[in-house]
């Protein structure tokens, strides 16, 4: 701490002294010089020089700094590392792709896990980025009902009615998850059609006790959204609605207006989106329970992830028996743009890469927004896009997760989670056919001061990522 204050004083002194006094300044582990520093929290957008010591930002200077290691960020944007609060691919494979998309903290908060302590233990050896998990209503239900699905329910985890005994055990497991450090509580009401309003509100009340935010995949369209907002308001539970773009679909304007109206009354409710027109999910999940009523052409808009083939009624029926991942081309580009134009939507990938296959959003969400929608289409400004990727997701979590007060910012004292990119060339490269192409234009990524992406090259031996828990 003493050293930290010393360097703070050093920086204050530097600002008013000529350059030659630099030799007397604190030696930094790493400096990032000449970059255009953009910090959405403070609004700073100027050429600054950043000094990093012991994993923290200790100087943001108008003067060039000297350090053991130097990054020249001339022509590049220096931003807080991106915080993804919706990423299912919590594996080494996904983490590496995400770092190459500028992400420095990745959270799985919608589905979550039933075994929080175990989940953190599995990653304790060190990761390339920071990570965290929610206690998940879906996996808790799957565990209690003995559902055989590997990720989402394919049987009683979604369709089983919970009696009083089961509800008690469910409540106990949800509480235990928070005790073990879960950063939020996750729900996928569309995947658990048998979960009653009573059951749902019982779990919301547990979250309200600790002020953990609940991250919810809604069900029942606009009316379902209203009901969830009313329940959270009644119980005082901080609420986050996942992927407004896919849950809102063609009603995206109304969907976001309902959330905005609740916010205008002072309710704590936030939301997010991913920047793609296609969804991805498990073919055997409750989302597609009505498949037998579909028009023929809807099957052709479904892609079987394993082979890349488009489906027919016949092949859909066959694969639904087996289970597995499907990408649905279900929305228009204009719906994506509408969701992005609304100031409420944070950017979150909703990604899930497994063995090189899946939706391109795991690898490309953040650079896609910055390249396609900021630079090419100018739908939102660069600073506004960064706000939705950094400070907003950090703020979403920080009341319950104190570690997040030092993420998502370029600020003296904040963790040195920093993404340096070229605003002229940043662009997603991952596609539906080739979903693991790393993004272009991301030059450096620092996680707690460690340079895990160096001049565009990933160094997976730099494992400074830490577990983020609620305490």
Enumerate binding residues for Zn ion (CB under 5 A). 110, 350
Q: Are strands 214-217 and 130-136 parallel, antiparallel or unpaired?
A: unpaired
> Whole-number minimum distance, CB 86 to Zn ion, in Å?
6
Choice between 102 and 358, CB closer to Zn ion: 358
Q: Are strands 214-217 and 185-188 parallel, antiparallel or unpaired?
A: parallel
**CA Rg value for the chain:** 22
Q: Are strands 28-39 and 77-80 parallel, antiparallel or unpaired?
A: parallel
> Whole-number minimum distance, CB 88 to Zn ion, in Å?
6
> Whole-number minimum distance, CB 1 to Zn ion, in Å?
40
> Whole-number minimum distance, CB 218 to Zn ion, in Å?
12
Choice between 63 and 328, CB closer to Zn ion: 328
Choice between 349 and 429, CB closer to Zn ion: 349
Looking at beta carbons, which residue is closest to Zn ion? 350
Using CB atoms within 10 A of its CB, is residue 387 exposed (0-12), middle (13-18) or buried (19+)?
buried
> Whole-number minimum distance, CB 87 to Zn ion, in Å?
8
Strand partners, 146: none
Choice between 11 and 190, CB closer to Zn ion: 190
Rounded (5°) CA angle 197-258-141: 30
Contact criterion met (CB below 8 Å) for 373 and 366: no
Neighbours of 415 (CB within 10 A): 28
Tell me how far apart the alpha carbons of residues 365 and 220 are, in angstroms, rounded to a whole number. Answer: 27
> Whole-number minimum distance, CB 114 to Zn ion, in Å?
17
Residues 6+ apart with CB under 8 A from 144: 157, 162, 166, 169, 170, 173
Residue 426's Cα: distance from chain center in Å? 19
> Whole-number minimum distance, CB 264 to Zn ion, in Å?
27
Choice between 90 and 104, CB closer to Zn ion: 90
Choice between 90 and 448, CB closer to Zn ion: 90
Contact criterion met (CB below 8 Å) for 174 and 168: no
Query: Of all helices (H) and strands (E), which one includes residue 384?
Result: helix 382-389
Choice between 96 and 352, CB closer to Zn ion: 352
């Amino acid at each position: 701490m003493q050293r930290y204050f010393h360097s703070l004083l050093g920086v204050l002194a530097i600002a008013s002294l000529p350059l030659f006094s630099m030799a007397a300044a604190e030696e930094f582990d790493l400096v990032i010089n000449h970059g255009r520093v953009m910090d959405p929290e403070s609004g700073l957008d100027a050429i600054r020089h950043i000094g990093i010591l012991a994993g923290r930002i200790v100087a943001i200077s108008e003067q060039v700094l000297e350090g053991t290691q130097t990054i020249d960020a001339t022509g590049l944007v220096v931003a807080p590392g991106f915080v993804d609060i919706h990423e299912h691919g919590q594996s080494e494979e996904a983490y590496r792709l995400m770092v190459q998309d500028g992400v420095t903290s990745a959270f799985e908060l919608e589905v979550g896990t039933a075994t929080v302590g175990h989940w953190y233990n599995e990653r304790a050896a060190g990761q390339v980025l920071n990570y965290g998990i929610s206690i998940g209503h879906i996996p808790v239900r799957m565990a209690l009902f003995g559902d055989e699905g590997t990720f989402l329910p394919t049987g009683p985890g979604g369709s089983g009615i919970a009696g009083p005994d089961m509800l008690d055990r469910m409540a106990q497991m949800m509480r235990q998850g928070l005790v073990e450090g879960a950063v939020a509580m996750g729900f996928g009401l569309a995947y658990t059609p048998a979960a009653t309003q009573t059951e749902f509100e019982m779990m919301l009340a547990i979250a309200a006790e600790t002020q953990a935010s609940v991250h919810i995949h809604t069900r029942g369209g606009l009316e379902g959204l209203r009901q969830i907002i009313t329940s959270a308001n009644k119980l005082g539970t901080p609420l986050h609605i996942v992927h407004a773009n896919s849950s809102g679909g063609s009603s995206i304007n109304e969907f976001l207006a309902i959330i905005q109206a609740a916010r205008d009354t002072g309710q704590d409710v936030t939301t997010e989106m991913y920047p793609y027109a296609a969804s991805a999910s498990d073919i055997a999940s409750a989302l597609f329970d009505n498949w037998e009523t579909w028009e023929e052409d809807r099957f052709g808009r479904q892609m079987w992830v394993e082979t890349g083939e488009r489906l027919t009624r016949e092949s859909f029926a066959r694969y639904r028996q087996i289970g597995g991942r499907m990408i649905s081309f279900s929305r228009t580009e204009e719906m994506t743009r509408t969701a992005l134009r609304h100031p409420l939507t944070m950017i979150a990938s909703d990604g899930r890469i497994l063995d090189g296959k899946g939706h391109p959003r795991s690898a490309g969400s953040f650079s896609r927004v910055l390249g396609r929608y900021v630079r090419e289409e100018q739908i939102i400004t660069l600073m506004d896009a960064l706000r939705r990727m950094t400070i907003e997701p950090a703020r979403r979590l920080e009341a319950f997760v104190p570690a997040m007060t030092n993420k998502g910012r370029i600020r003296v004292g904040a963790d040195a989670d920093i993404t340096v990119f070229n605003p002229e060339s940043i662009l997603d490269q991952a596609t539906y056919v080739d979903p693991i192409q790393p993004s272009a234009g991301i030059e450096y990524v620092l996680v707690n001061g460690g340079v895990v992406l160096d001049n565009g090259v990933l160094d997976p031996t730099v494992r400074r990522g830490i577990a983020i828990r609620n305490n």
